């Protein structure tokens, strides 16, 4: 779609408040398009969109569509949906009934990507963190880069920074199979793992999806340390954190503590320099290595990268410190897959072991809100295995994300398995129940990890509000 046609278009997003949908909507507004959208829940994203000029509906009815049609008569109207929107959604079904132009969110993102030199970040885990690190490096080193991601990037305080720049960092999602629609100048594959059991039946289908993405990338950057990626995706450009041999880029860690990581940086087996990275965790080091490697692939000067590495920060909801209440420290993390929980708990342990005296005798408390019934069904044993490594575990009811629950699955299948390994586990219905019993469930000095991909990240706000009221 050329610029003139874009400006003549109006985009209505059904479910505009989601982190991915809102990013694209913001991007279109910045391109000069008119935008409207609906969502049943008002959040920071919908408020931001309203300030930028979007028309926001807090219901999802056919009347909304009729209002949009009547209001934007001089525009070519496109209705945008994500795979999360069910066929029975009233707006969606009315648009189909009337044969209106319906686009998937991936079509709009692919269209925006087409107008830039695009670095597309893919992978089963760490996409948002890698996108954030890459966006930060390119912003500071080139001042000629835009971003559309699935998280809030600290340097922009937004999930979208779309300007008239040369480069675009785009986070691309494999969860619904639409990853094959994206064409990029540099494609980055963080890792490949079995997930999104509502769409994929097995790991082979996931691999096939990433192979399609790889074919659509002019250049490809792949994580050598991920066995599945290494064995199934061919590329001359690979990165590693275990060996500098046979890879184009490597950072070999010499020290990882609770505050930073020190590593030796190599290109094509040649030592270049030591780096002091202000973010702990081996999984974060892998994501940062990918970001540095991608920057070098487009010609960013290494001296500039090294100078600006100190400004790297994690995106929101990625091991994000929310605050302290009565000597209990709370961290939010988006971990919703067993392998992500594994890394988050490992990082929590690192902080407890190496922090100052305030954490030395801390218990690691895991509060987990499972996300999707299909994921719980597929990974029950793996969830139990990783969560049991915390000192105390509280598991809430499942956040269904619109899925049906024909098998009547509950979180108790996880807690029952955890109990065999760790008796300090309790099923708790919801976060209001956790809040109401917070002081009975926790003690001073506790290090609390609140994990999940649903609405669990409202916990701090609920807890803080109640604590303020009780003062």
Question: Is the pLDDT score of 396 beyond 70?
Answer: yes
CA distances from 149 to 159, 268, 274, 298 (A): 5, 30, 29, 20
Mean local confidence (pLDDT), 9-38: 96
pLDDT category at 2 given cuts 50, 70, 90 is low
pLDDT the model gives residue 469: 63
pLDDT the model gives residue 198: 82
| CA atoms within 13 A of residue 212's CA, in its CB half-sphere | 15
Least confident of 183-187, 297-301, 302-306, 460-464: 460-464
Question: Is the pLDDT score of 171 beyond 80?
Answer: yes
Judge whether 35 and 13 are in contact, CB under 8 Å.
Answer: yes
Judge whether 310 and 316 are in contact, CB under 8 Å.
Answer: no
Question: Is the pLDDT score of 305 beyond 90?
Answer: yes
pLDDT the model gives residue 359: 52
Question: Is the pLDDT score of 110 beyond 70?
Answer: yes
pLDDT the model gives residue 126: 92
pLDDT the model gives residue 317: 85
**Average pLDDT across the chain, whole number:** 93
Rounded Cα distance between 54 and 387, Å, is 41
Question: Is the pLDDT score of 360 beyond 70?
Answer: no
127 φ/ψ sector (left φ>0, alpha ψ -120 to 50, else beta): alpha
Specify the 3-state DSSP secondary structure of 252: strand
pLDDT category at 97 given cuts 50, 70, 90 is very high
pLDDT the model gives residue 356: 52
Tens-digit pLDDT profile for residues 182-210: 999 999 999 999 888 888 889 999 999 99
Rounded Cα distance between 285 and 187, Å, is 19
Mean local confidence (pLDDT), 254-267: 92
CA distances from 102 to 10, 94, 96 (A): 12, 11, 8
Mean local confidence (pLDDT), 459-466: 82
What's the pTM value of the predicted model, to 2 decimals? Answer: 0.90
Mean local confidence (pLDDT), 111-128: 95
Percent of the chain topping pLDDT 90: 81
Least confident of 33-37, 209-213, 225-229, 315-319: 315-319
């Amino acid at each position: 779609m050329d610029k003139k046609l874009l400006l003549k278009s109006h985009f209505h997003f059904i479910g505009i408040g989601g982190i991915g949908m809102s990013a694209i909507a913001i991007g279109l507004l910045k391109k000069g398009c008119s935008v409207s959208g609906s969502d049943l829940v008002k959040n920071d994203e919908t408020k931001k969109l309203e300030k930028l000029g979007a028309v926001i509906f807090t219901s999802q009815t056919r009347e909304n569509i009729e209002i949009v049609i009547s209001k934007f008569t001089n525009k070519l109207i496109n209705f945008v949906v994500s795979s999360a929107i069910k066929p029975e959604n009233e707006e969606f079904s009315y648009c189909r009934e009337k044969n209106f132009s319906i686009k998937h969110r991936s079509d709009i993102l692919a269209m925006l990507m087409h107008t830039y030199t695009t670095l597309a970040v893919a992978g089963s885990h760490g996409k948002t963190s890698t996108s954030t690190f890459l966006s930060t490096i390119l912003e500071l080193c080139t001042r000629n880069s835009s971003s559309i991601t699935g998280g809030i990037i600290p340097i922009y305080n937004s999930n979208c920074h779309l300007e008239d720049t040369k480069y675009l960092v785009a986070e691309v999602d494999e969860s619904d199979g639409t990853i094959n629609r994206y064409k990029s100048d540099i494609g980055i594959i963080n890792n490949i793992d079995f997930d999104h059991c509502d769409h994929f039946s097995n790991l082979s289908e996931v691999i096939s999806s990433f192979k399609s993405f790889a074919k659509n990338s002019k250049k490809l950057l792949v994580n050598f340390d991920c066995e599945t990626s290494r064995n199934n995706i061919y590329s001359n450009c690979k990165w590693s954190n275990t060996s500098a041999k046979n890879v184009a880029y490597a950072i070999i860690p010499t020290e990882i503590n609770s505050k930073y990581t020190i590593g030796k940086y190599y290109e094509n087996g040649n030592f270049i320099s030591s780096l002091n990275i202000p973010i702990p965790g081996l999984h974060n080091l892998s994501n940062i290595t990918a970001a540095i490697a991608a920057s070098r692939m487009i010609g960013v000067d290494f001296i500039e990268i090294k100078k600006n590495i100190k400004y790297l920060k994690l995106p929101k909801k990625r091991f994000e410190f929310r605050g302290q209440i009565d000597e209990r420290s709370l961290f939010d993390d988006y971990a919703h897959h067993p392998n992500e929980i594994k890394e988050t708990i490992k990082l929590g342990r690192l902080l407890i072991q190496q922090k100052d005296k305030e954490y030395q005798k801390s218990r690691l408390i895991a509060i987990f809100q499972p996300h999707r019934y299909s994921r719980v069904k597929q990974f029950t044993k793996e969830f139990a295995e990783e969560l049991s490594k915390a000192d105390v575990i509280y598991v809430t009811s499942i956040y269904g994300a619109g899925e049906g629950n024909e098998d009547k699955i509950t979180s108790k299948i996880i807690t029952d398995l955890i109990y065999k390994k760790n008796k300090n586990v309790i099923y708790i219905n919801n976060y209001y129940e956790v809040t109401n019993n917070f002081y009975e469930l926790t003690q001073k000095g506790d290090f609390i990890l609140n994990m999940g991909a649903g609405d669990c990240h409202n916990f701090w706000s609920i807890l803080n509000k109640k604590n303020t009221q009780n003062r």
